[in-house]
Structure 1
Amino acid sequence: NIIVSGVDKPYGEDYWREIQIGDQVKLRWFRSCLRCLLTTINQETGIRDPNQEPWKTLQT
């Protein structure tokens, strides 16, 4: 995760296509990705939630 500040509007960073960190690192947007499905797996049993929660709720 990267924390940014100074964004003018909520979710403004969703429209960035390039981020530069210092003089050496430049990150370019390639494509959007889905949230990790690991949150749908019970960490004690290893069983995936049949309703894909909380992943489904996090998508809204």
Structure 2
Amino acid sequence: IYNFRPNIIVSGVDKPYGEDYWREIQIGDQVKLRWFRSCLRCLLTTINQETGIRDPNQEPWKTLQT
């Protein structure tokens, strides 16, 4: 479960996965984050957090692609 930690947690989204269509997030008056492109699945989930060794079968990434 260590491999599945969120980068940013948001609330108040009107519909499930609504944030997938956002192109910009503003935090306060100073910070704006803009999307460059989507990352559908991150390969970091295939790396053992304790050893730093990647799973030779690329799991759970391969299963998540299905």
Q: Same fold (TM over 0.5)?
A: yes
Distance in structure 1 (CA, Å) of the matches to 2:38 and 2:19: 12
Q: Could you tell me the TM-score, scaled by structure 2's length?
A: 0.69
Q: 1:18 to 1:43 in 2, by over 3 A?
A: closer
Root-mean-square deviation over aligned CA pairs = 2.1
Larger mean Cα displacement after TM superposition, 46-55 or 28-37: 46-55
Q: Could you tell me the TM-score, scaled by structure 1's length?
A: 0.74
Shift of residue 47 of structure 1? 4.8
Unpaired segments ≥5 residues, structure 2: 1-6
Q: 1:21 to 1:52 in 2, by over 3 A?
A: same
Greater RCO (CA < 8 Å, at least 6 residues apart): 2
Calculate percent identity across the aligned residue pairs: 100
Unpaired segments ≥5 residues, structure 1: none
Shift of residue 56 of structure 1? 1.6
Distance in structure 2 (CA, Å) of the matches to 1:13 and 1:44: 31
Shift of residue 14 of structure 1? 0.1
Shift of residue 39 of structure 1? 2.4
Distance in structure 1 (CA, Å) of the matches to 2:17 and 2:58: 25
